[in-house]
Amino acid sequence: MGRTIGATAGTEALPGRVTESGRHIRRARMFPVTTAPPELCLVVGDEELLATRAVAQIRAAARAADPESDTRELEGAALVPGELAELLSPSLFGGRQVLVVRNAQDARKDAVAALLDYARHPDPDVCLVAVHAGGAKGKALADGLRAAGALVISAGRLTRHKERVDFVRDEVRRLGGRCPENAAEALLAAVGNDLRELAAACAQLMADTGGKVSAETVARYYRGRAEVSGFTVADAAMVGDVPAALEALRWALQVGVDPVPIADALADGVRTVARVAAAWVRVVLAVSGEFCFVVWGVARVRDAGASTAAAAALSAAFPIGMALGRLLAPRFAGHPAAVPAGALLAMVGTGLGSLGGDPWTVTAGLGVAGLGIAVLYPVTLAQLVATPGLAARHSASLGAFASGTAILAAPALLAALGGVVSLRLAFLLPIPLLAVLLALPVGARRRAAASRRPVVAGREP
């Protein structure tokens, strides 16, 4: 009976040594490729990389023993007994023959019978390698080769985590380096469980680091790869970090992320930026209308004929209207008509304050405008905070920035208009500002359960 041994990580050595007859394994230690290959070899398992390496080891051993050796490969399903007898016959011109039967479990009964018949009396100048996926299919062939004394190399999938860690460490060791266990763990977390990916990663690390593989090295080379997704690409792109976005895109495509979700994440990021921008502009417009009255209300009442002292007293109508509006706002803030109603009422008050010819009409306009405009800032700020995709911790800073922009720009713009036309006409400025506010789309409410990470202004904590 043949003894089962594990496939090695490279092609420099074969596991096990066979006797001259080729039917029994003397030991299961690795030996150099200069040792003659076994006459019968059974590679069992469905891990493609291990099976491929096992076959490559045997071919290398055959070439080392005889540089003129000839290797042929056939699929198990295509085996024909007559052709098989010809391929397993010694060459008339001498030289070792290597016949590799891929997917041997698919061989038909007559081909299996021919293989087992040959295995009873193998030719010393021929090396027969049967690559079998394991399992119940074709079990008679595998059992027969074992009974004939074939060298059995296990190429099964590495299902346990410890086996994969050992594979990584052995792979680095095979390439001439050293890999501590924590570095192997880090590489598995970053690259995944695919052995080909892991082998390629080990080779790359060895080439770039000169054999000094550590957990820190893995973290530097594979930063963020374990969790890369389309949203990772969108996160970096939306904040303007082009190198990070390109790096994340390369990782995402390499680990097999579908390009369609990546494009969808980028589109969603653009939509989020548009929603945040629209919500921010709405806050700017709401505060702009408010501070046009706060800064220029006294001047407008005095322009209507009131004394400075009287104008200062009468202009208090606007903050009084604001206070009353803020008291009533919580009752109507959640209603979709709150902002349109407030803006329209503020427009009416602006018209009275601008077109009124006496201080009392202007004062009434200020009070009506204050009552209407009072609801705009709280509601628009709440809509900015509730914008999907906007990190909550940045909402307040964006709201403050919007308010500061409005406080600085709107009164200055009204003053500039007053220098070109009369203050009376310039006082109509809040009407177009509020009209633009009504025209801008309202952002969607924040989802109760976030289905993704924010992509604008940072991530949630």
| CATH classification at residue 167 | 1.10.8.60
Nearest CA-CA partner of 139 in 110, 105, 103: 105
Same domain, 54 and 88: yes
Same domain, 305 and 407: yes
Does residue 456 form part of some domain? no
What DSSP designation does 123 have?
-
What DSSP designation does 197 have?
H
CB neighbour class for 397 (10 Å; exposed up to 12, middle 13-18, buried from 19):
exposed
Same domain, 172 and 233: yes
Does residue 124 form part of some domain? yes
Distance (Å, whole) CA 461 – CA 459:
6
Distance (Å, whole) CA 414 – CA 407:
12
Residues of the chain falling short of pLDDT 70: 1-35, 90-94, 223-229, 251, 254-256, 333, 389, 443-461
Same domain, 376 and 249: no
Whole-number Cα distances in Å, 239 to 133, 280, 455, 456? 49, 17, 8, 7
For the domain that residue 23 is a member of, what is the CATH number?
A: 3.40.50.300
Neighbours of 178 (CB within 10 A): 12
pLDDT at position 364: 92
Same domain, 322 and 423: yes
Distance (Å, whole) CA 151 – CA 157:
19
Q: Distance of alpha carbon 375 from its chain centroid, rounded?
A: 41
Distance (Å, whole) CA 117 – CA 72:
20
Does residue 270 form part of some domain? yes
Distance (Å, whole) CA 71 – CA 81:
19
pLDDT at position 355: 87
Does residue 452 form part of some domain? no
Distance (Å, whole) CA 13 – CA 34:
9
pLDDT at position 90: 67
CB 199 within 8 A of CB 171: yes
pLDDT at position 360: 93
User: How many CA atoms are closer than 13 Å to the CA of 73, on its beta-carbon side?
Assistant: 8
Is the alpha carbon torsion for 117, 119, 120, 121 positive or negative? positive
Same domain, 136 and 190: no
Strands 97-102 and 40-44: unpaired
Query: If DSSP codes are grouped into helix, strand and coil, which group holds residue 17?
Result: strand
Q: How many domains does the chain have?
A: 3
pLDDT digits (tens, 9 = 90+) for 250-263: 767 766 677 888 88
Which of 154, 188, 221 marks a domain boundary? Answer: 154
Q: Distance of alpha carbon 444 from its chain centroid, rounded?
A: 25
Same domain, 32 and 129: yes
Which of 154, 185, 214 marks a domain boundary? Answer: 154
Distance (Å, whole) CA 142 – CA 215:
42
pLDDT at position 34: 44
Does residue 215 form part of some domain? yes
Same domain, 184 and 88: no
Does residue 191 form part of some domain? yes
Structural domain that includes position 213? 161-254
Same domain, 372 and 391: yes
Same domain, 321 and 390: yes
Amino acid occupying residue 231 = F
Same domain, 289 and 435: yes
Which of 254, 286, 309 marks a domain boundary? Answer: 254
Same domain, 104 and 216: no
- Tell me the two tokens of residue 239: 């904040």
Does residue 13 form part of some domain? yes
Residues in the chain: 461
The structure tokens 């911790």 sit at 393
DSSP letters spanning 303-362: HTT--HHHHHHHTTHHHHHHHHHHHHHHHHTTSTTHHHHHHHHHHHHHHHHHH-SSHHHH
Does residue 446 form part of some domain? no
pLDDT digits (tens, 9 = 90+) for 181-229: 888 888 887 777 888 888 888 888 888 887 788 888 887 777 655 556 6
